[in-house]
C-alpha cells in the first residue's frame, strides 16, 4: 500500500524564483526502508519536511502530496502528528524538557493522552530499546548517540506509521551512528515501520535500504533498488554521484570485467567473497620510530588532567610531539579524551601535571596575548567564530586585533582562493555549513598562523565537500602550515593526514602513518580495509589507494 | 524516585514549607523561633549531613549577626535601657527585637536550604504547573537550556580566546567587552538553533489542542495521611497563634516571656509540623530495621 | 486551558483574601509575609496574561532561550563580580520584543538562575525587579526618549539603582518596626558600590553593545515571524 504519494510536486521559497524542488513524483510504500541521498542543497531536507505537514516551510507549493490516498492538507491535525514521526539532525536542539521521562512523553502530553496510557507506552518502548538506565538521567548528561536515541524514542512513543529522519547520524561518531542505523533496521524488520532516511553517509545503508533515491538540484535523478541504482549510475557515467556509493560497489564496478548488477557487493562479507579469500601471514606492524631530533612545534610531555578534584583523570601521561609542517590527525572514540587533549594543547585548560610547550616555550607561563595569531583554531562549529554581522567586517576586525598591514588585499586574496568572494557581505548565519567553515578558515589564516588546530571538521558534510576540504587542508600543509586535527572520520584522516594517532583512555595508544595505524584493525578502520583484509588483493584503506595499488583490471 | 522524604508527594512537602514559612513570619516568641531553627537544622542534617547548610552558612551567619548587632544600635525604642553606647541608649527591647527578627530570617533561610534539596527542580515546577502550566513549561525549558548554553559558552570561549578575546588580561572595560562579545555569539548562535527546537515541539503536536500534562507523582495513601496530619497540626497551631499565643509584645515595653500551658500546646503543635520530615525518615528507618 | 484558568482565579482570590486577612488580623504585622503576598498578587496578572494569550511554540522557545541566556550571562564574568550582564540582556529583550515578553524574560531569568544558585526569600523580589525592568523597557520602547542613546543609557543607569533598592527592600521589610531614616540610609549606603557598578555596567553595555544586540534580536524576530504580534 502506498503511504505517501507525491504528484508533480514543486516548491520554491518566498522572494525567489528558484525552485528548490522541481516536478517530483515519488511514492513511499508501507513497510519500506527508503534512503535519500544527494549533495547539500539538493533539496532532500525540504522534500522530507514537506512530508511532515507541521514542518512545511513557507513558500510556494505546486502539485499535490497524498497520504494514504487523501491529500495531506485534508487530514485532521492530530492524526498527522501521530502518524508521521520526524527526527532532526542535531541531537541537542530537539530536546525540550529537563528530564528524560518528561521528554519522551512530551508528544503524548500534547496529544492529550492519559497518564496511564503514557506509563504503559513508556514501559513497553523502553523495554524494547533496552534503555531503562537512561530514564533517570538528565538529557544534558547523555552522549550524542544517547540523545539521538532519546529523540527517536520520544517520536516512537506516539506510534507513528512512518518515520522520517533527517541526517540523524551526521553529528554522531561512527560507533553511535552504526548503533542508530541498526536500531532503525530492527524497527523496520520487526515492527514493519516505514522509514524514510535522508543521509550523507550512505556506505552501510545500501545494504539495509529497500530503495534508494538520489537527488540533485531539486530533482530525483535515480530511484530504485540499491544494486539497480548503482548499475544505472555506472551505465550513465554519472560521476557526480560516485562518492555517494559504497566503496566496495565502486571497486567492483571498476575492477570487474563483466559486472553483474545482481552481484554487486554491498557488505564486507559480499566484498570478500567477490575478491576471494587468501590466507595471509599477518605481520605485526613495527612502527618506525623516527624520533630524530626534529624541530617540534608542539610538545606535550606526561600531561595529566582532570576536570574536578575527585573526577577521574581524562588525560593520563599524555605525550605527543608534532614536528613543524606535519599534518597530524588524532582519532579516538567518544570519551577517549581527544577533545580534552586538543583543549590542553590550545591552552584552554591548564593541565595539573606535565608540560605543554609551543615552539619550546612553556604554555603555562605564556599569556594569552603571546600566542595570539601564532596558533589558530577551527572549531567543530565554525559559527562560534563570528562576532560581527558580515564576513568582511569579521576579517577587518581580525586584522585590527592582530595589527596587520594590507588587510584588504590579503582578505581579497584569501576569499578568492577559497572561492567565497561572493559571500563577503553575507551574514555568517545565512551561509551553508561548508561556506561558514571556509569563511572561518579564511579569517583564521589572515593572521598567517604557524599552527592550525581543527576539531571534527567533517561532521555533517557530504562526501564531495569533504573531498574539497581535504584538498584545501593538504595544500595548506604543502605551503608550510602545521596541522593538528581531531576527528573520528577515519577515512578522512587516512586520506589526507601524514601521521595519525589513536587515543584510548586518556593517552595515545598507537601512533604512526595511517597505514601502520589502521590496517589490521577490526573496528577502528574503514569498511574497505575490513573487506580487503586477507584477500587476493592488497589491503587498502581508501578507494583512491585501491585504484592506485590494485593490479590491473583484468586480474580478477 | 528516592526514598524517605524524597518519596513524599511534592504537594505535601510544599504544604509543609508553606506552614513553616508562615510560622517563621507569624510567631515572634524567641523560644518558638529558636525551636523552629533547631528543628530545621535537624531536618537539614537528615537530608545530606549538612552539606548544603555548610555552603549557606557564611550568608546565614553574617546576616543574623548583622541584624542582631545593628538593630539595637540604630533603634532606641523600648523602656529597659541596657547600656550607653557612644551616647546612644541601647535598650533591651531593641536587642530582643533584633534577635527575634534575625531568628525569623534564619528560619526562612534554613527552610529554603531544605526546600532546595527536597523540592529540587521539577518537583517545584510540578506544583506550579497546575496553576500556571505554560509558565511552568517555559521555566522547565529554560532550565533545560542552561547546561546546553554553558557547554556552548565553553566552546565559544575556546575559540574567541585565540582571537584575542580574553577574560584574564587587559583593562576592566576590555574584559567586559570580551565577555559581552562572547554572550553575543551565544545569543545569535542559540537563537538560530532554537528554531529547530520550536520545530521539534510542533512536530510532536505542541499547540494542537489541549495539553494533558503527565503526572509523575502519585498521591499515595500514606501521602494523604501525612497531609491530613500536617493540616490538623497546622490549623491548631495557627488558631492558637491568632488567639495570641506564641507571641510577645516587644515595643513599646517588653511583655512577659513566660509561656502558659496553652502556649506550650501551640508550641507542641508547631513542633509536630516542623519535625515532620524527621518522623518520615524515622519511620522508614524503623521499617527497615524491624520488618522481616 | 480551562482548568488552569480556574486554578488561577482561585489562587488570585486566595491571595486577595490572605491580603485582607493579614491586614485585619495581623496586629503583630508580619510584614515579610505581607510583602510576599503583595508581590505575588502584583505579578499574577502578568503571568495570567501570558497563560491566556495565544502564544505560539516559537515564541515560547524564544522567551525560554532569552531567559536562559540572561541567567547564564554571569558565567563568563565569573572573575569580575562587579559586572552584571543579566540586566542588559533583559532590557534588550524588552526593547525588541515588548513589555509582556520583557516581563516574562526578566522574571523567568530570576527563577532559573536561582534554580542553580539556590532559591531563597529573595526570589520573588528578584523576579519582580527584573520583570519590571524588562516590562518598562518594553513600555517605553516607542517613546522618543528611548530612541536616543542617551535615553537608553539613563534608563539603564536608573534601573541599576532601582534594582538594588528592590533587593534592599526585602531586608528592610523583614525588620520594618526598626524603620528609621538612619536604618534605611545605612542599608542603602552598604549597597551603594554594587548599585553603582550595576548602573555603570548597564550604561557601558548599552553604549558598546546596544546597537548590535538590537540588530541581532530584530533579525531573529523576522526569522521567527514574530514581527506583527507585538502590541507593546
Q: What is the pLDDT of residue A420?
A: 85
Instruction: Give the count of domains, chain C.
Output: 2
Q: What band does B242 get if pLDDT is binned at 50, 70 and 90?
A: confident
C108 neighbors C67 (Cβ within 8 angstroms): yes
Q: What is the pLDDT of residue C175?
A: 60
B contact chains, 3+ CB pairs < 8 A: A, C
Rounded to the nearest 10°, the torsion over CA A99, A103, A104, A105 is: 110
Q: What is the pLDDT of residue B183?
A: 94
Q: Do A115 and B215 touch (CB under 8 A)?
A: yes
Q: Do A96 and B216 touch (CB under 8 A)?
A: no
Interchain contact A153–B (C-beta under 8 A) = no
Q: Do C215 and A427 touch (CB under 8 A)?
A: no
Q: Is the pLDDT score of B292 beyond 60?
A: no
Q: Do B184 and C25 touch (CB under 8 A)?
A: no
Q: What is the pLDDT of residue C29?
A: 56
Query: Helix, strand, or coil here: B13?
Result: helix
d(C-alpha B129, C-alpha A102), whole Å:
13
Interchain contact B214–A (C-beta under 8 A) = yes
d(C-alpha B130, C-alpha C5), whole Å:
10
C62 neighbors C220 (Cβ within 8 angstroms): yes
Query: pLDDT tens digits for B93-151?
Result: 878 888 888 888 899 889 988 988 888 767 888 888 888 888 999 999 999 999 999 99
Please state the rounded mean pLDDT for residues B31-41.
Answer: 92
Interchain contact C145–B (C-beta under 8 A) = no
C164 shares a domain with C60? yes
Interchain contact B6–A (C-beta under 8 A) = no
C12 shares a domain with C127? no
> Is residue C232 assigned to a domain?
no
Query: pLDDT tens digits for B271-288?
Result: 999 999 999 888 888 888
d(C-alpha C162, C-alpha C102), whole Å:
17
Interchain contact B180–A (C-beta under 8 A) = no
Q: Which residue of C has its CA nearest to B73?
A: C183
Domains of chain A (ranges, CATH numbers): 24-37+76-240 (3.40.50.300), 296-374+454-505 (3.40.50.300), 383-448 (no CATH)
C175 shares a domain with C151? yes
C-alpha distance from B184 to closest chain A C-alpha (Å)? 7
C217 shares a domain with C171? yes
> Is residue C108 assigned to a domain?
yes
Q: What is the pLDDT of residue A51?
A: 92
Q: Which residues contact C14 (CB under 8 A, 6 or more apart)?
A: none
C-alpha distance from B160 to closest chain C C-alpha (Å)? 12
Q: Which residues of A touch C215 (CB under 8 A)?
A: 389
> Is residue C186 assigned to a domain?
yes
Give start and end residues of each alpha helix (H) in A287-427: 338-346, 391-401, 407-418
Q: Which residues of C touch B194 (CB under 8 A)?
A: 61-62, 65
Mutate: best of B59, B66, B69, B131, partner C, most C CBs <10 A: B131
Residue with C-alpha cell 530582643? Answer: B96
d(C-alpha A93, C-alpha B262), whole Å:
60
Query: pLDDT tens digits for A343-387?
Result: 888 888 888 888 888 888 888 787 777 777 788 899 988 889 998
Interchain contact C64–B (C-beta under 8 A) = yes
> Is residue C105 assigned to a domain?
yes
C114 shares a domain with C29? no
Interchain contact B184–A (C-beta under 8 A) = yes
Q: Report the predicted TM-score, pTM, of the whole model to 2 decimal places.
A: 0.89
C74 shares a domain with C12? no
Distance from the first to the final alpha carbon of chain A: 43
> Is residue C17 assigned to a domain?
yes
Q: What band does B40 get if pLDDT is binned at 50, 70 and 90?
A: very high
Rounded to the nearest 10°, the torsion over CA C197, C199, C203, C208 is: 40
- State the pairing for strand pair A315-323/A296-305: antiparallel
C28 shares a domain with C78? no
Q: In this complex, which of B70, B124, B180 lies closest to C209 when CB atoms are compared? A: B180
Residues 261-290 of A with CB under 8 A from B: none
Q: Is the pLDDT score of C106 beyond 90?
A: yes
Task: Report residues of chain A scoring pLDDT below 50.
Answer: 553-556
Query: pLDDT tens digits for C107-166?
Result: 999 999 988 887 888 888 899 999 999 999 999 998 889 889 999 999 999 999 889 888
Pick from A473, A453, A470, A447: nearest CA to A382: A453
> Is residue C217 assigned to a domain?
yes
Please state the rounded mean pLDDT for residues C19-47.
Answer: 72
Rounded to the nearest 10°, the torsion over CA B208, B210, B214, B218 is: -170
C-alpha distance from A153 to closest chain B C-alpha (Å)? 12
d(C-alpha B201, C-alpha B204), whole Å:
5
Q: What is the pLDDT of residue B291?
A: 66
Interchain contact A349–B (C-beta under 8 A) = no
> Is residue C229 assigned to a domain?
no
B108 neighbors B24 (Cβ within 8 angstroms): yes
C121 shares a domain with C201? yes
Pick from A310, A308, A335: nearest CA to A146: A335
Which three cell numbers, joined as nine digits, stand for A30? 508501507
Q: What band does C30 get if pLDDT is binned at 50, 70 and 90?
A: low
Instruction: Find the helix or strand (DSSP H, E) in which B257 lies.
Output: none
A contact chains, 3+ CB pairs < 8 A: B, C
**ipTM tops the 0.90 cut:** no
Q: Which residues of C touch B146 (CB under 8 A)?
A: 68, 71-72, 112, 116
d(C-alpha A123, C-alpha A13), whole Å:
42
C93 shares a domain with C48? no
Q: DSSP state, A372?
A: B
A359 neighbors A391 (Cβ within 8 angstroms): no
Q: Do C212 and A427 touch (CB under 8 A)?
A: no
Query: Helix, strand, or coil here: C120?
Result: coil
Pick from A28, A33, A38: nearest CA to A214: A38
Pick from A455, A337, A385, A485: nearest CA to B156: A385
CA B20 and chain centroid, separation: 10
Identify the CATH number of the domain in which residue C210 sits.
1.10.1760.20
C61 shares a domain with C31? no
Q: Which residues of B touch C88 (CB under 8 A)?
A: 180
C93 shares a domain with C29? no
* Full domain range(s) for residue C30: 1-52
Q: Which residues of C touch B21 (CB under 8 A)?
A: 33
Pick from B64, B61, B32, B11: nearest CA to B237: B32
> Is residue C122 assigned to a domain?
yes
Q: In this complex, which of C56, C217, C223 lies closest to B195 when CB atoms are compared? A: C223
d(C-alpha A415, C-alpha A517), whole Å:
36
Q: Do C60 and B134 touch (CB under 8 A)?
A: yes
- Crossing angle (nearest 10°) for helices A407-418 and A391-401: 130
C112 neighbors B142 (Cβ within 8 angstroms): yes
C162 shares a domain with C115? yes
Query: Helix, strand, or coil here: A334?
Result: coil
d(C-alpha B19, C-alpha B115), whole Å:
13
Query: pLDDT tens digits for A472-500?
Result: 899 999 988 999 999 988 889 988 998 99
Q: Do C215 and A389 touch (CB under 8 A)?
A: yes
Pick from A2, A29, A30: nearest CA to A192: A30
Amino acid at each position: 500500500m502506498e503511504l505517501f504519494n507525491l504528484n508533480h510536486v514543486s516548491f520554491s521559497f518566498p522572494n525567489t524564483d528558484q525552485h528548490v524542488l522541481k516536478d517530483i513524483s515519488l511514492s513511499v510504500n508501507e513497510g519500506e526502508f527508503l534512503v535519500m541521498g544527494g549533495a547539500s542543497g539538493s533539496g532532500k531536507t525540504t522534500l522530507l519536511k514537506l512530508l511532515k505537514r507541521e514542518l512545511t516551510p513557507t513558500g510556494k507549493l505546486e502539485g499535490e502530496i497524498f497520504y494514504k490516498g487523501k491529500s495531506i492538507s485534508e487530514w485532521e491535525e492530530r492524526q498527522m502528528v501521530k502518524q508521521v514521526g520526524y527526527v532532526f539532525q542535531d541531537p541537542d536542539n530537539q530536546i525540550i524538557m529537563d528530564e528524560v521521562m518528561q521528554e519522551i512523553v512530551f508528544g503524548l502530553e500534547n496529544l492529550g493522552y492519559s497518564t496511564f496510557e503514557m506509563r504503559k507506552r513508556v514501559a513497553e518502548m523502553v523495554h524494547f530499546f533496552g534503555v531503562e538506565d537512561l530514564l533517570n538521567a538528565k538529557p544534558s548528561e547523555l552522549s550524542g548517540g544517547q540523545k539521538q536515541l532519546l529523540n527517536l524514542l520520544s517520536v516512537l512513543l506516539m506510534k507513528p506509521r512512518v518515520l522520517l529522519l533527517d541526517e540523524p547520524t551526521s553529528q554522531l561518531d561512527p560507533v553511535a551512528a552504526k548503533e542508530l542505523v541498526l536500531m532503525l533496521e530492527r524497527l523496520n524488520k520487526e515492527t514493519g515501520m516505514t522509514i524514510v532516511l535522508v543521509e550523507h553517509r550512505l556506505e552501510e545503508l545500501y545494504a539495509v535500504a529497500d530503495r534508494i533515491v538520489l537527488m540533485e538540484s531539486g530533482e530525483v535523478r535515480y530511484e530504485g533498488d540499491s544494486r539497480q541504482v548503482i548499475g544505472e549510475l555506472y551505465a550513465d557515467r554519472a560521476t557526480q554521484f560516485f562518492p555517494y556509493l559504497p566503496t566496495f560497489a565502486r571497486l567492483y564496478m571498476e575492477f570487474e570485467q563483466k559486472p553483474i548488477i545482481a552481484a554487486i557487493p554491498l557488505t564486507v562479507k559480499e566484498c570478500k567473497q567477490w575478491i576471494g579469500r587468501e590466507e595471509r601471514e599477518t605481520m605485526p606492524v613495527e612502527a618506525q620510530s623516527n624520533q630524530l631530533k626534529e624541530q617540534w612545534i608542539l610538545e606535550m610531555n606526561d600531561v595529566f588532567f582532570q576536570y574536578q578534584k575527585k573526577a577521574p583523570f581524562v588525560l593520563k601521561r599524555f605525550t605527543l610531539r608534532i614536528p613543524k609542517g606535519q599534518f597530524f590527525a588524532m582519532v579516538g572514540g567518544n570519551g577517549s579524551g581527544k577533545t580534552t587533549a586538543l583543549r590542553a594543547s590550545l591552552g584552554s585548560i591548564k593541565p595539573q601535571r606535565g608540560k605543554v610547550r609551543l615552539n619550546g616555550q612553556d604554555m603555562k607561563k605564556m599569556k594569552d596575548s603571546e600566542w595570539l595569531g601564532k596558533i589558530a583554531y577551527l572549531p567543530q562549529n565554525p559559527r562560534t567564530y563570528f562576532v560581527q554581522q558580515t564576513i568582511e567586517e569579521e576579517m577587518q576586525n581580525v586584522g585590527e586585533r592582530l595589527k596587520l598591514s594590507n588587510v584588504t588585499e590579503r582578505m581579497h586574496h584569501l576569499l578568492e582562493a577559497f572561492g567565497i568572494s561572493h559571500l563577503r557581505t553575507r551574514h555568517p548565519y545565512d551561509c551553508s555549513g561548508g561556506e561558514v567553515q571556509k569563511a572561518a578558515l579564511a579569517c583564521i589564516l589572515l593572521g598567517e598562523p604557524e599552527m592550525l588546530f581543527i576539531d571534527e571538521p567533517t561532521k555533517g558534510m557530504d562526501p564531495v565537500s569533504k573531498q574539497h576540504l581535504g584538498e584545501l587542508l593538504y595544500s595548506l600543509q604543502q605551503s608550510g602550515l602545521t596541522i593538528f586535527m581531531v576527528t573520528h572520520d577515519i577515512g578522512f584522516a587516512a586520506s589526507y593526514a601524514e601521521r595519525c594517532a589513536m587515543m584510548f583512555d586518556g593517552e595515545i595508544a598507537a601512533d604512526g602513518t595511517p597505514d601502520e595505524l589502521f590496517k589490521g584493525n577490526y573496528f577502528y578502520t574503514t569498511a574497505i580495509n575490513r573487506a580487503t583484509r586477507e584477500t587476493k588483493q592488497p589491503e587498502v584503506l581508501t578507494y583512491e589507494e585501491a585504484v592506485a595499488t590494485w593490479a590491473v583490471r583484468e586480474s580478477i | 524516585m528516592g526514598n524517605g522524604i524524597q518519596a513524599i508527594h511534592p504537594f505535601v512537602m510544599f504544604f509543609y514549607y508553606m506552614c513553616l514559612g508562615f510560622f517563621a513570619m507569624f510567631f515572634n516568641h524567641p523560644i518558638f523561633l529558636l525551636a523552629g531553627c533547631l528543628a530545621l537544622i535537624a531536618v537539614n542534617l537528615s537530608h545530606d549531613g549538612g552539606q548544603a547548610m555548610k555552603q549557606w552558612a557564611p550568608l546565614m551567619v553574617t546576616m543574623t549577626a548583622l541584624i542582631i548587632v545593628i538593630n539595637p544600635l540604630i533603634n532606641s525604642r523600648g523602656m529597659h535601657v541596657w547600656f550607653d553606647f557612644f551616647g546612644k541608649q541601647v535598650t533591651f527591647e531593641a536587642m530582643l527585637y533584633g534577635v527575634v527578627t534575625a531568628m525569623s530570617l534564619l528560619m526562612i533561610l534554613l527552610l529554603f536550604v531544605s526546600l532546595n534539596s527536597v523540592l529540587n527542580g521539577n518537583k517545584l515546577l510540578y506544583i506550579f504547573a497546575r496553576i500556571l502550566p505554560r509558565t511552568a513549561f517555559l521555566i522547565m525549558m529554560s532550565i533545560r537550556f542552561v547546561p546546553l548554553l554553558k557547554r556552548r559558552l565553553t566552546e565559544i570561549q575556546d575559540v574567541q580566546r585565540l582571537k584575542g578575546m580574553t577574560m584574564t588580561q587587559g583593562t576592566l572595560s576590555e574584559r567586559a567587552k570580551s565577555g559581552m562579545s562572547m554572550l553575543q555569539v551565544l545569543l545569535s548562535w542559540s537563537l538560530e538553533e532554537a528554531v529547530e527546537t520550536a520545530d521539534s515541539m510542533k512536530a510532536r503536536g505542541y499547540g494542537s489542542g489541549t495539553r494533558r500534562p503527565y503526572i509523575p507523582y502519585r498521591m499515595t495513601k500514606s501521602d494523604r495521611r501525612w497531609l491530613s496530619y500536617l493540616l490538623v497540626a497546622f490549623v491548631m497551631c495557627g488558631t492558637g497563634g491568632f488567639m495570641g499565643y506564641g507571641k510577645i509584645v516587644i515595643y513599646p515595653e517588653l511583655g512577659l516571656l513566660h509561656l502558659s500551658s496553652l502556649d506550650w500546646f501551640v508550641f507542641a503543635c508547631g513542633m509536630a509540623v516542623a519535625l515532620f520530615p524527621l518522623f518520615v525518615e524515622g519511620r522508614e528507618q524503623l521499617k527497615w530495621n524491624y520488618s522481616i | 486551558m480551562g482548568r488552569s484558568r480556574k486554578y488561577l482565579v482561585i489562587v488570585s482570590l486566595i491571595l486577595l483574601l490572605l491580603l485582607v486577612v493579614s491586614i485585619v488580623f495581623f496586629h503583630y504585622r508580619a510584614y515579610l509575609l505581607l510583602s510576599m503576598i503583595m508581590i505575588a498578587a502584583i505579578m499574577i496578572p502578568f503571568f495570567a496574561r501570558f497563560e491566556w494569550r495565544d502564544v505560539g511554540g516559537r515564541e515560547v522557545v524564544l522567551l525560554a532561550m532569552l531567559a536562559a541566556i540572561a541567567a547564564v550571562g554571569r558565567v563568563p564574568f565569573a572573575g569580575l563580580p562587579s559586572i552584571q550582564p543579566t540586566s542588559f540582556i533583559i532590557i534588550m529583550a524588552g526593547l525588541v520584543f515588548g513589555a509582556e515578553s520583557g516581563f516574562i524574560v526578566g522574571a523567568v531569568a530570576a527563577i532559573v538562575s536561582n534554580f542553580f544558585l539556590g532559591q531563597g526569600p529573595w526570589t520573588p523580589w528578584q523576579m519582580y525587579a527584573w520583570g519590571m525592568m524588562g516590562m518598562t523597557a518594553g513600555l517605553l520602547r516607542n517613546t522618543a526618549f528611548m530612541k536616543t542613546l542617551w535615553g537608553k543609557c539613563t534608563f539603564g543607569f536608573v534601573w541599576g539603582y532601582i534594582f538594588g533598592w528592590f533587593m534592599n527592600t526585602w531586608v528592610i521589610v523583614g525588620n520594618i518596626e526598626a524603620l528609621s531614616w538612619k536604618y534605611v540610609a545605612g542599608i542603602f549606603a552598604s549597597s551603594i558600590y554594587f548599585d553603582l557598578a550595576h548602573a555603570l555596567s548597564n550604561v557601558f553595555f548599552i553604549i558598546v553593545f546596544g546597537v548590535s544586540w538590537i540588530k541581532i534580536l530584530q533579525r531573529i524576530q523576522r526569522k521567527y515571524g514574530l514581527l506583527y504580534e507585538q502590541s507593546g
